[in-house]
Amino acid sequence: MIIAIDGPAASGKGTLAKRLAQHYRLPHLDTGLLYRGVGRAVLDAGHDLADETAAREVASRLVVETLDEDRLRGPEMGEAASVVAAFPAVRALLLDVQRRFAAQPGGAVLDGRDIGTVIAPGADAKIFVTASPEERARRRHLELNRRGEPVPYDEVLADIRRRDERDAGRGTAPLKAADDAALLDTTSLDIEAAFRAALALVEKARQKTA
């Protein structure tokens, strides 16, 4: 069974994907980490994030197992991921990595921005997770504060809106819900309520394919 979870930044898709993977005992891939990894490596090498050639070279050598998740969190890496993800060559190189993960025996859970539309269009269950920009900014703001990274709420909200615009407007694999994806708005839901709703949507999709 392949479960595709898509949605904008801080919508809760990553947390839901992890919970669903645990519930169904499936491997999980946060595809955003791939792009964060490319962005991190580009910056570590002293290149500008706008350097598509450097980003393409990094993506061609990326090894998923070596990604340091702790170094790939935070608003700077989220912004970096959004920038390099707009490069068609980078997306093409990482496309095969993601599709191989999705196609492994038994299935998998993947979350990102183009799983249901590009990576696994034939997924058994597709969910597009969203929430208002203000609520997503509030969640990200709290997360950053808990990590000891005090960033003004207004800056977080501006970053969320900037990333939304870039992700939705890019020419290759823009952020959008697949035509057959179930929409899950988590604006007024806590994580437990959101998980129950997501689980119900997956079960509904499974019944249709049974």
Contact (Cβ atoms closer than 8 angstroms) between residue 131 and residue 12: yes
The mean of the pLDDT values for the chain is 93
DSSP codes of every residue in 99-120: HHHHTSTT-EEEEESSIIIII-
Tokens of 68: 């340091």
Q: What percent of the chain has pLDDT over 70?
A: 100
User: Count H helices, E strands: the chain?
Assistant: 8, 5
Per-residue buried b or exposed e for 66-105, using 16+ beta carbons within 10 Å of the residue's own CB:
ebeeeebbbbebbbbbbbbbbbebbbebbeebbeebbeee
The strand order across the sheet containing 125-130 reads 28-30, 108-112, 2-6, 125-130, 182-185
Q: What is the pLDDT of residue 21?
A: 98
Q: What is the pLDDT of residues 147-196, one digit of tens each?
A: 888 899 999 999 999 989 888 887 777 888 999 999 999 999 999 999 99
Q: Coil, helix or strand for 203?
A: helix
As a whole number of Å, the end-to-end CA separation of the chain is 11
* pLDDT digit string, tens, across residues 75-87: 788 889 889 988 9
What the chain holds in terms of domains, given with CATH numbers, is 2-209 (3.40.50.300)
User: Up-side HSE of residue 161: CA atoms within 13 Å toward CB?
Assistant: 8
Question: How far, in Å, CA of 82 to CA of 113, rounded?
Answer: 10
The pLDDT confidence band at residue 15, using thresholds 50, 70 and 90, is very high
Confidence of residue 210 (pLDDT cuts 50, 70, 90): low
**What DSSP state is assigned to residue 188?**
T
Query: Please, is 190 exposed, middle or buried when counting C-beta atoms within 10 Å of its C-beta (0-12, 13-18, 19+)?
Result: exposed
pTM, to two decimals: 0.88
Side-chain half-sphere exposure of 113, counting CA atoms within 13 A? 25
